[in-house]
């Protein structure tokens, strides 16, 4: 049997085929990837992180499509931007912050691939949260990977601004 390699989808082809599909899809290196179904806890954490980003001076968005390249169109759970609002349908410039929230069905290899691409694109602050385990990680360029976060995250894109992990998880627990 011959080995058939699938052709990478372009952004245009991806949008034609997957724009109205539910659950949602994102384009990762030319491959349509179904987004994990979010639990109530996932959705609650998404809202909490958006509010905190707004409190810190970012414009926050949930499920914002990022136009990284012709075969890359990921949709992070939360994104935060700085500077003037740009009139465009999708985000074509790197946001200051990208946050991925883990779901039980998420694959680490895909998460790592997305974080690496966000870093290459120029996203200054890349965070990953686990709502079930109340843990978080951030992308560390010196380590070339995700490293655990403890207590406080200091934003590269907003010097002097911090995210308190205990506060995030206290809000999640309703404390």
Structural domain spans, the chain: 37-173
Instruction: Check residue 66 and report its DSSP letter.
Output: B
Between 165-173 and 40-55, two packed helices, what is the crossing angle to 10 degrees? 130
pTM here is 0.89
pLDDT band at 3 (very low <50, low <70, confident <90, very high): very low
Among 70, 63, 67, 71, residue whose Cα is nearest residue 31: 71
Superfamily, domain 37-173: tt1808, chain A (3.90.1570.10)
- Residues 6 or more apart whose CB falls under 8 angstroms from that of 108 comprise none
Round to whole Å and give the CA distance between 82 and 113.
25
Average pLDDT, the chain: 90
Cα-to-chain-centroid distance, residue 44: 16
Q: Identify the pLDDT of residue 30.
A: 87
Whether pLDDT at 166 is above 90: yes
pLDDT higher for 23 or 75?
75
Which pLDDT does position 26 carry in this prediction?
83
Q: What is the DSSP letter of 105?
A: T
Q: Is the pLDDT of residue 106 over 80?
A: no
């Amino acid at each position: 049997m011959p080995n058939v390699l699938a052709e990478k989808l372009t952004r245009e082809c991806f949008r034609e085929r997957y724009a109205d599909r539910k659950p949602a899809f994102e384009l990762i290196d030319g491959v349509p990837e179904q987004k994990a179904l979010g639990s109530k806890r996932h959705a609650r954490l998404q809202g909490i992180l958006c509010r905190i980003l707004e409190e810190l001076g970012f414009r926050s968005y949930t499920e914002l499509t990022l136009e990284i390249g012709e075969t890359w169109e990921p949709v992070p759970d939360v994104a935060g931007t700085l500077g003037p609002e740009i009139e465009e349908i999708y985000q074509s410039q790197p946001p200051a912050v990208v946050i991925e929230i883990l779901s039980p069905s998420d694959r680490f290899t895909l998460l790592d691939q997305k974080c690496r691409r966000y870093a290459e694109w120029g996203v200054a602050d890349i965070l990953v949260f686990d709502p079930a385990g109340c843990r978080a990680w951030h992308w560390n360029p010196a380590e070339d990977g995700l490293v655990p976060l403890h207590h406080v995250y200091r934003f590269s894109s907003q010097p002097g601004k911090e995210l308190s992990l205990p506060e995030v998880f206290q809000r999640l627990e309703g404390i």
